[in-house]
Chains A and B, each alone.
Chain A
Amino acid sequence: MQLLEARGLSVRLGGRRVLHKIDMSIAPGEIVTVIGPNGSGKSTLLRALIGAVSIEDGTVFRKRHLRIGYVPQRLGLEKAMPMTVRRFLGLPKRLSAAACEELLARVEGQGLADRQMSQLSGGQFQRVLLARALASEPEILILDEATQGLDQPAVAAFYQLIERLARDLNCAVLMVSHELHVVMRASDRVICLNGHVCCQGAPTVVSAAPEYRALFGDSAATLALYQHQHDHSHEDDRSRVPVGAAEH
C-alpha cells in the first residue's frame, strides 16, 4: 500500500509544461529524495502531490486521510504578524504547552517556545518548521529544499535529524534537495528529475546512471569519487557511510 502515488502526472504552469508524465510512488517508512537542476519541476512535483497545483493530465493517489507534515522552502513570515514559536507550533490545531516542549525536544530546539519566530536563526527556524510538521503525527514528511541558507555543517546535521526522526517515528520522507552529497547518504531511493523522471533507484544505482551524469556533470563526478572512497574505507565514521552501501 503506497502512501502517495503519481501516474502519468503532467503539470502546466503559465503555459509552460513543467512536469511530463511522471510515475512515482512512496511507501510507508521510505526516505525518497527528488534531485534535479533548477527549474526541473522539483517543487512543483511536491506541490502537485499535496494538491496545491492543478494537474493537466494523469492522476495523484493519496492514501485516505493521509497525515502530511509539510516543511516549505520558505515561510515568508510578514513582519506585521507577531508569532511566538509556541503559537506557530499550534497551527492549525492548538497544542498544550507540554506537547510544544516535547515537539521542540524532538528537533533539539528546547527553550525556543517563547521566542518570536522573527528572532530565530536560520537553523533554529528550520527546526521549528520541522517540529510543526511533526505535530500532526504525520505518516509522511514532505520537505521542499528545507536547508536553504544553512551552512554545510548545519545542512548535514539537519538531514541526520530528519533521518533519525523518520526511523524513530516510522514516518516516510519525501524531500527535494540540491545538496547531492548529504542527501544521497540519507535516502533509500533517489528520483532524478528534469521535467520527466530521468532515472530513479537506490543512491548507488542513480549515481552510476548515465542520465544522472549527463544532468549533473562535474558535481556528479565529485560525488562518485566521494562514494568510491567511502565504499572502501573501514575506518570512517559509521554515520557517514551511504545507506545504499551500508546494506552490502
Chain B
Amino acid sequence: MLDDFLVRAGLAGLGLALAAGPLGCFVVWRRMAFFGDATAHAGILGVALSLAFSISIFLGVLGVALLMALLLSVLVARGHVMDTTLGVLSHGALALGLVAVSFLPTVRVDLASFLFGDVLAVSKMDLAVIWAGAVLVMALMYWRWSSMLTATLNPDLAMAGGIDPKREQFVLTVAMAVIVAVAIKVVGALLIAALLIIPAAAARPLVRTPEWMALVATLIGGLSTLAGLGLSLKVDTPTGPSMVVAALAVFTLSTVLGRQGRDS
C-alpha cells in the first residue's frame, strides 16, 4: 500500500495536519503567526547547511529552526520590539538560506521543492520521519495542554498555580521547530505557517471551548490536505499550495457561517 506515491502523500499530509491542528491553535491564541513564519524561513538555511555538510535534511532543518525559535523566545522575553525583530530575522534567514543554497552544485538542489514542498516525492523513510515528528508534537500537546492553556491565558495566573510559563513557552518552541522540520517536505518553508494558522482560524467561529477548537482545526487540516492533493491531481496544480487553498476555502465558508449564526 505504501508503494503508491499517492498513499504516501496522503498519509504525509494527514500526519502533518494531526500535529498542526492543536499547535496551530496556540499559534493563533498567542499571536505567534509571524514567529511561525520566521522559524519556517530559517528552515531554508537548514536545508543549505544539511546539503553542504551532507547530513540529514530533517536534522539540519530541525537544528536551525530550533536555534531560530529559541533566539526569538529570548528576544521576546527581553521585550525587544517584536514586529521589527521578527521581520528582520524572518527575511534575513530566508535570504541567507537562498544565498547559501546558491553556492551548492545545482544538480543537488531543487530549491522549489523546499520552498513550496514536494509531497508527491515523499519516500517511505520521509513518511516515517514525518509521523514520528507528528506523534512527538501531539504527545507534547496532550501532556502540557492544561498548563500551556493556563500560561497562554495569563502568565501570572499560571505562576500562582505552580506552572512556569517559560517552560510552557519552551515546549511550544520545540514543537514549532519539529513541525517546521516535518512540514518542509509537505508544504514547503513558505507555506508552513499557513497550515498552522488557517485551520485554527477556520475552526474558531464553530466552537465554544479550546479543546473543540483543536479538534475541529485538526479535522479541517486533514480534510484540506486530502482535498488539496485531489485538486492537484485533477487539475495539475502544485500540491502544497493546493492544500493551503483548500484550507482557505474552508476558512471562508466557516467565517460566513459563523457570522450568519451570530446574526440569527
Contacts and interface: CB of A to CB of B under 8 A. Distances in A.
Q: Do A and B come from one complex?
A: yes
Interface of A: 14, 47, 50-52, 68-70, 72, 75-78, 80-84, 87, 91-94, 116, 136, 142, 144
Nearest to B149: A91
A14 B79 CA distance: 10
Contacts of A94: 146
Chain B contact residues: helix, strand, loop or mixed: helix
Given A51-B159, A81-B29, A82-B213, A92 B154 contact: no
B209 A82 contact: yes
B77 to A, nearest CB: 12
Contacts of B156: 47, 50, 52, 70, 72, 144
A240 B28 CA distance: 47
Contact of A75 (B31, B153, B161, B204): B153
Interface string B4-25: 0000000000000000000000
A222 to B, nearest CB: 32
B247 to A, nearest CB: 16
Given A78-B152, A80-B204, 20 more contacts: A50-B159, A51-B159, A52-B159, A70-B160, A78-B29, A78-B31, A81-B210, A82-B207, A82-B209, A82-B212, A82-B213, A83-B209, A84-B209, A87-B211, A91-B149, A91-B150, A91-B153, A92-B150, A92-B158, A136-B161
15 contacts: A14-B79, A50-B160, A52-B156, A68-B160, A69-B160, A70-B160, A72-B156, A78-B30, A82-B208, A82-B209, A82-B213, A83-B209, A84-B208, A87-B209, A92-B146
Contacts of A87: 209-211
Interface string B191-221: 0000000000100100111111100000000
A68 B161 CA distance: 7
